[in-house]
Chain A
Amino acid sequence: MMKLKSVTKHYQHRGKTVRALHEATFDIPRGDYVAVVGPSGSGKSTLLLILGGMLSPMQGQVMFDGQSLYDLAPADRAALRKQKIGFVFQTFNLMPYLTALENVQVPLLLAGIGETEQQEKAASLLERLGLGDRLDHKPSELSVGQQQRVALARMLANNPAVILADEPTGNLDPETSQTILGFFEEVNREGKTIVMVTHDPGAARRARRTLQLLDGAIQHNGSVERQPT
């Protein structure tokens, strides 16, 4: 599904070169569920952005379904994101001025879907995530856990093949975290590929594999036994 070949990305920060990712090479097969772990500044964020087609590497190649992601024009990469990739953010990144329903409609709007279908699909997704009675609530009127569930519904709106999640449980209480991780397992079982950046070892253990980054280099790329929930 996704393949990184000797991908390197360095930043310049106050005159110093920061090694965000260095010669990273690994495969993510279809239906995989990978947890990316490592200390702050180890390159986890960079890896997620590069996988999402939002940050071009200095060297190396990123393949997505056999296509070199960064050989595509920016508009084509945006179209690919729209069709195949779903992002989940630590702070949810909901539009504060839109209702839950409207937030879920945004990716559908960008995909050019008509208003009626947008509303039906968004309402159905929010129902699935247990927010059927919160459709007209703005993010500020929702609990943190509910906000993350709206973000999950938004992520699923275009039925992406790949989910890129950044600390999806970072801001959540343990109970809500378990709900979200359970949801990830559920959609993974449905066939979606998940790459999840996390600091939480417990969350990492719920993934099929763990990828450890240290100073931009992959330290460990192996299978982790799934813990019983």
Chain B
Amino acid sequence: MQLKHLVWRELFERKNQLATSFLAILLGIAVIVAIKNITVYSEKAVARELDALGANILILPKSASLSDYYSADMQGEEFPEEYVTRLATSDLQGLDNLSPKLSLPVELDGKRFTLTGILPKQEFQAKAAWQGAGIFSRPEGCGTVASVPGLTPAPPKETLVRQRVIETLNDNEILVGADVAAALKLKADDKISVLNRQFTVTAVLPPTGTVDDARLFAHLHTVQQLAGKGAALNAIEIVGCCDQISKGLVAKINRLLPEAKVVTITQIVDTQIKTNRMMAQLSMLFLGIIVLVGGASIANYMFANVYERRKEIGTLMALGAGSGVVLRVFLLKALLLGLAGGVAGYVLGTVLAVILGPRIAGVPVLPVLWLGPAAIGIAVGLSLVASYFPARRAARLDPSTALQEI
């Protein structure tokens, strides 16, 4: 027999008291796990929506009007391309998918369109000064989601629509919006002359319902040459990390670029912030409740257990157990209780989240594995802390009062 056998056998001796404490931990942990699990998938879902909407931060010239978010870069105002370097080399967290743009009005077959210069990712990667600045390395779950259930990745060139950036774009390549393609009867690999320069259509972008459908996208530096304005930009689009936006990313960009105007899709970000804040507050609230109720229940159970087992503790001491052994007996019991409560709480909470998540948050929810160790850690920690004083009381018990019959 080992000490753990002794503890294990005693654990089931007083089943009713044990059940109360176990239930307190189980329910508390289950609720926290369920909320956190739903929150994780809710955040992923919102991030997916933001991703679908495209950039959520826009850097514009100071004098630009904000009457139309999607055409705010077509007002003729400009600022230097050097702003991109400042952003890329800054230590700001939460910036990703920087997309500097310069737009020009163009007329093709008698129809007016907009030629927009964009910078592909390859240009960022080619610039040593921009490497390691954190851009294009945004963690999953913020803005763009690397893997979203039910979402198939877009073809390489069409990522422009969703992510506001594309991987590669050569000087003579052009992407055309859905309306442009329809009006000019263009398809992939067609040739087109814009501002007296020949381009090859590398892709026709899917319709977005925005002004982008009436745009043509070429390499930024090519458009800058055609405009004859040097290294100038109309706008920089950024997919900012929502968590970082809530922590004041816009204000930080403003401080970095005081000459520019920084705007965000505030309503969407506000919704995200509010959802996240509410979930975080709920998690903290339930964590507080489980610490108070669960902790009090365990402590109460342990104090009662020590009181009921005075004679047994006295007997153990008479048989030669030191206070360290008695302390271990009770803390081992607390450990087992916490382990069982944590594991069962994780399982129940996950089941609740998977079943109720779609109804509460309207998102499909799958188990989150990392919540398992976290739940067990909280349950065991709580159980040990709540049991420490009762266990210490047991260890310090006067055996002469414990063995009253002697």
Q: A residues touching B (Cβ–Cβ < 8 Å)?
A: 45-46, 48-49, 52, 54-55, 74-75, 78-79, 81-83, 85, 87, 89-91, 93, 95-98, 102, 105-107, 109-111, 115, 118, 154, 158, 166-167, 197
Contacts and interface: CB of A to CB of B under 8 A. Distances in A.
Given A54-B399, A54-B400, A96-B13, A109 B312 contact: no
Given A49-B399, A91-B405, A96-B13, A102 B319 contact: no
A85 B318 CA distance: 8
B320 A81 contact: yes
B309 to A, nearest CB: 10
B1 A102 contact: yes
B9 A106 contact: no
Contact of B318 (A52, A90, A96, A118): A52
Contacts of B5: 102
A47 to B, nearest CB: 9
Nearest to B10: A97
A138 B320 CA distance: 22
A48 B406 contact: yes
Interface string B1-31: 1110110011011000000000000000000
Contact of A93 (B9, B311, B324): B311
A58 to B, nearest CB: 13
A85 B6 CA distance: 22
Given A98-B6, A102-B1, 14 more contacts: A48-B406, A75-B324, A78-B320, A78-B323, A81-B317, A81-B319, A81-B320, A87-B319, A93-B315, A97-B12, A107-B319, A111-B320, A158-B320, A167-B405
Nearest to B13: A97
Q: Tell me if B's interface is mostly helix, strand, loop or mixed.
A: helix
A54 B318 contact: yes
Contacts of A87: 315, 318-319
Contacts of B227: none
B325 interface: yes
B248 interface: no
A197 B406 CA distance: 9
A48 B403 CA distance: 11
A110 B3 CA distance: 9
B322 interface: yes
B406 A49 contact: yes
A142 B1 CA distance: 21
Interface centre among B12, B314, B319, B405 (most CB of A within 10 A): B319
A45 B6 CA distance: 28
Interface in B290-326: 311-312, 314-325
Given A78-B317, A79-B322, A110-B321, A89 B403 contact: yes
Given A49-B403, A89-B406, A106-B6, A81 B318 contact: yes
18 contacts: A45-B405, A49-B399, A54-B317, A55-B398, A75-B322, A78-B320, A82-B321, A93-B311, A93-B403, A95-B10, A97-B10, A97-B13, A102-B1, A102-B9, A110-B321, A111-B320, A118-B1, A166-B406
Given A93-B311, A118-B1, A83 B405 contact: no
A108 to B, nearest CB: 8
A7 to B, nearest CB: 14
Contacts of B322: 74-75, 78-79
B385 to A, nearest CB: 25
A96 B398 CA distance: 22
Nearest to B8: A97
A49 B5 CA distance: 29
A109 B2 contact: yes
Nearest to B311: A93
A158 B400 CA distance: 22
Chain A to chain B: the 4 pairs with minimum beta-carbon distance, closest first: A82-B320, A78-B322, A55-B400, A93-B315
B278 to A, nearest CB: 47
Interface centre among B318, B324, B405 (most CB of A within 10 A): B318
Contacts of B311: 93
Contacts of A74: 322-323
Nearest to B320: A82
B273 to A, nearest CB: 54
Contact of A98 (B9, B318, B400, B403): B9
A115 B406 contact: no
